[in-house]
């Protein structure tokens, strides 16, 4: 029996929480996790690797905390998952619920919540308890769908694949991307400005060096009869 794939969307400051998920899921008969580390590249909305793994995932688990709430990458991953019609099960830090905007917001049903703590150890215990509830729910759902006819499952997969062709267009026009686009463009412009300034500084240094070398060379040549 092949396992379902769960894509974990998170900020790297919350890596200890993903470690908990990995440990909890290592014994699962039904699910395996997709964890991508430092994959974010400047000037890209989402890396090809992330898009590929999101498409192959059966469900998405965003970890929403004070560390990730303002992260554009997680917002984009959630947006793309929604465009793909992937089941999404957010785990949310209770203290930030009222700050949530976009695809996951305070008015949505958010059954998987944990409390923040000044002690990372205590906070991770709260998180682990919350994730176990989520694991029990998704495994119960998996068992329910085990009885689906294989032919029906194949036809569903073919339909999903055909629908995926229009995913990029859906994602680009999604409200989240429309909202994030101006900020992303401004960030890119600022990055380009910095690069242009650095190139100008390098060019200036190169010209100064060239002039000094020319003067030095001429002085040396004047010593010859």
CATH of residue 23's domain is 3.40.50.450
> What local confidence, expressed as pLDDT, does residue 200 receive?
82
The answer to whether residue 94 sits within a structural domain is yes
State the DSSP string of 94-112: GGGGGG--TTS-TTS----
The answer to whether residue 157 sits within a structural domain is yes
The answer to whether residue 214 sits within a structural domain is no
Phi first, then psi, for residue 31 (nearest 5°) are: -130, 150
Q: Looking at the 3D structure of the chain, how many domains does it have?
A: 1
Q: What are the structure tokens assigned to 5, written together?
A: 């794939």
> What local confidence, expressed as pLDDT, does residue 220 receive?
56
pLDDT (tens place) for every residue of the chain, 225 residues total: 578 999 999 999 999 999 999 999 998 888 999 998 644 555 455 567 788 889 999 999 999 999 998 887 888 888 889 888 999 999 999 999 999 887 888 888 899 999 999 999 999 999 999 999 999 999 988 877 665 555 566 666 666 666 655 555 665 566 665 666 666 666 667 777 877 787 788 778 777 766 775 665 566 556 555
> What local confidence, expressed as pLDDT, does residue 33 receive?
92
> What local confidence, expressed as pLDDT, does residue 36 receive?
83
Strand partners, 4: 31
Q: What is the domain range of residue 94?
A: 4-173
CA distance 22 to 39: 19
The answer to whether residue 116 sits within a structural domain is yes
The answer to whether residue 126 sits within a structural domain is yes
> What local confidence, expressed as pLDDT, does residue 39 receive?
47
CA distance 108 to 55: 24
The answer to whether residue 109 sits within a structural domain is yes
> What local confidence, expressed as pLDDT, does residue 74 receive?
86
The pTM for the full model equals 0.63
The answer to whether residue 102 sits within a structural domain is yes
Give Cβ neighbours of residue 176 (< 8 Å, ≥ 6 apart): 75, 76, 78, 79, 102, 103
> What local confidence, expressed as pLDDT, does residue 224 receive?
52
The answer to whether residue 202 sits within a structural domain is no
**How many other C-beta atoms can be found within 10 angstroms of the C-beta atom of residue 13?**
12
**How many other C-beta atoms can be found within 10 angstroms of the C-beta atom of residue 75?**
23
């Amino acid at each position: 029996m092949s396992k379902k794939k769960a894509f974990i969307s998170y900020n790297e400051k919350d890596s200890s929480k993903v470690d908990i998920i990995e440990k909890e899921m290592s014994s699962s008969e039904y699910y395996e996790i997709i964890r991508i580390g430092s994959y974010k590249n400047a000037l890209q909305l989402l890396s090809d690797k992330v898009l590929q793994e999101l498409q192959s995932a059966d469900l998405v688990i965003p970890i929403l905390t004070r560390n990730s709430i303002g992260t554009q990458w997680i917002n984009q991953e959630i947006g793309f998952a929604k465009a793909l019609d992937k089941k999404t099960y957010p785990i949310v830090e209770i203290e930030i619920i009222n700050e949530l905007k976009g695809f996951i917001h305070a008015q949505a049903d958010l059954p998987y919540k944990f409390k923040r703590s000044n002690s990372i150890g205590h906070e991770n215990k709260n998180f682990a308890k919350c994730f176990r509830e989520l694991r029990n729910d998704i495994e119960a759902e998996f068992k329910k769908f085990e009885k689906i006819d294989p032919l029906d499952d194949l036809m569903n997969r073919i339909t999903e694949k055909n629908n995926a062709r229009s995913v990029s267009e859906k994602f680009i026009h999604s409200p989240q991307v429309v909202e994030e686009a101006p900020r992303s463009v401004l960030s890119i412009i600022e990055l380009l400005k910095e690069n242009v300034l650095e190139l100008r500084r390098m060019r200036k240094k190169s010209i100064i060096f060239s002039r000094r070398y020319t003067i030095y060379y001429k002085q040396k040549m004047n010593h010859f009869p």
